């Protein structure tokens, strides 16, 4: 079965960096685009970024463009999110999600919590 497992979250000071990982299994990772979606505590969902099948095309929400970088290693079936210049407002649970053929998010991981605080 499809499984997505995020890791790498933690407490980090404002202005510092953090890299999240998402290990995928149960499907052919290189056949799917992958998203990052975040959810601030007690708040709704916010799309963060998308990377296409081979990693050649990447897209970002305005709120993170220029600070976050999405990437993937298809040989390791792993998705990444490099987060630089972190701000307090980046505090959230970060989910990786698979993109289906209809632009929906069809499978989600359990999330990894990022807290940006001094």
Partner 1 sequence: QSALTQPPSASGSPGQSVAISCTGTSSDIGGYNYVSWYQQHPGKAPKLMIYEVSKRPSGVPDRFSGSKSGNTASLTVSGLQAEDEAEYYCSSYASSNNWVFGGGTKLTVL
25 lies in the site for partner 1, by CB under 8 A: no
Is 10 strand, coil or helix? strand
Quickly tell me which residue has 């979606």 as its tokens.
Answer: 37
Instruction: Look up residue 88 and give its DSSP letter.
Output: G
Of 90, 41, 93, 51, the C-alpha closest to 67 is 90
70 lies in the site for partner 1, by CB under 8 A: no
79 lies in the site for partner 1, by CB under 8 A: no
**Judged by CB, which is closer to partner 1: 27, or 47?**
47
Instruction: List the x/- string, 30-69, binding to partner 1 by CB under 8 A.
Output: -----x-x------xxxx--x------x-x-xx-------
């Amino acid at each position: 079965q499809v499984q997505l497992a995020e890791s790498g979250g933690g407490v980090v000071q404002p202005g510092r960096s953090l890299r999240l990982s998402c290990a995928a299994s149960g499907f052919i990772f290189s056949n799917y685009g992958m998203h990052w979606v975040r959810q601030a505590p007690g708040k709704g969902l916010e799309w963060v970024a998308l990377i296409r099948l081979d990693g050649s095309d990447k897209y970002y929400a305005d709120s993170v463009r220029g600070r976050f970088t999405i990437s993937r290693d298809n040989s390791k079936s792993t998705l990444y999110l490099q987060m630089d210049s972190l701000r307090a407002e980046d505090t959230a649970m970060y989910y990786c999600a698979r993109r289906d053929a209809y632009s929906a998010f069809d499978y989600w991981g359990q999330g990894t919590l990022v807290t940006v605080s001094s």
